[in-house]
Amino acid sequence: MWSWNVLGVALWVALIVYLTFIVQNIRKRRLRMIIERHHSFEWGNFAISIAEIAIFCLALGWLAGQSVFDNPNLNDQTRISAKVKYQSLILQPGASKNYYVKVDSSKTKNASQNYIFYTAGHKYTVPSRMATVSYEDNPINVTASTIPFKLAKLKQMDDRYQKAYVAVYTARYKNTAQNGLGMHAGKVATRFFLIRVPDTSFIKK
């Protein structure tokens, strides 16, 4: 299948070729300056070298911005296609109580949490940076508000699954020239898990 990512690859190859040209060109001009004109320094030659390096740095910064530092708006339908998959949670037996989601916290300097939960036939372990546990009346809590979930749809799922489900939001880059510049076309932009439980008693810590 054709992908616009070849455009990004071509630009990176062109940049590498240009860097090679700069190195060879600076060396050639410097040798000519020393051998033919017997000069150790010339302002004109220096200015050309600075201009070539500046162009390379600007191109490198622009390409890096398109690839490494790209941060698209999830509501931008010209760049992003998104879907939400809903799955019911499976109640798990515990020593003192049953639960839908277990919170596994690390006791280290770089404190982190994982959410562990089960759906039909699957066990998920998701880092907290990619998920939130929602138990309020409004399914879209502060963390989930960063993702364009549809409140009406989540309310519908509340009724359908008795507030025991996971909504998996997946945003994918469309196969466009703009996305191809950063070699993102067709790739996942972000994935987020909204883990819905009836109340805090169904969370094991």
Residue pLDDT, tens place only, 58-75: 999 999 999 999 999 999
Helix axis angle for 43-67 and 5-35, nearest 10°, is 170
Please determine, for residue 37, whether its predicted confidence score (pLDDT) is greater than 90.
no
Q: How far apart are CA 180 and CA 36, in angstroms?
A: 46
Q: Alpha carbon of 121 to those of 10, 35, 40, 85, 92: distances in Å?
A: 43, 76, 74, 15, 13
Please determine, for residue 107, whether its predicted confidence score (pLDDT) is greater than 80.
no
Q: Alpha carbon of 137 to those of 86, 141, 147, 176: distances in Å?
A: 18, 9, 18, 39
Q: How far apart are CA 147 and CA 77, in angstroms?
A: 14
Copy the structure tokens of residue 43.
């302002």
Percent of the chain with pLDDT over 70: 97
> What's the mean pLDDT in 138-145?
96
- What pLDDT, on a 0 to 100 scale, did the predictor assign at position 96? 79
pTM of the model: 0.86
Per-residue DSSP letter, 8: H
Q: How far apart are CA 117 and CA 122, in angstroms?
A: 9
- How much is the mean pLDDT over the chain? 93
- For the ranges 37-51, 79-93, 172-186, the lowest mean pLDDT is seen at 37-51
Concatenated DSSP letters of 68-117:
TS----TT-TTTEEEEEEEEEPPPB--SS--BSEEEEE--SSS--EEEEE
- What pLDDT, on a 0 to 100 scale, did the predictor assign at position 109? 67
- For the ranges 9-13, 61-65, 93-97, 101-105, the lowest mean pLDDT is seen at 93-97
- What pLDDT, on a 0 to 100 scale, did the predictor assign at position 108? 67
- What pLDDT, on a 0 to 100 scale, did the predictor assign at position 141? 96
> What's the mean pLDDT in 28-56?
92
- What pLDDT, on a 0 to 100 scale, did the predictor assign at position 95? 75
Please determine, for residue 187, whether its predicted confidence score (pLDDT) is greater than 70.
yes
CB within 8 A of 100, min separation 6: which ones?
89, 90, 91, 92, 117, 164, 195, 197, 202, 203
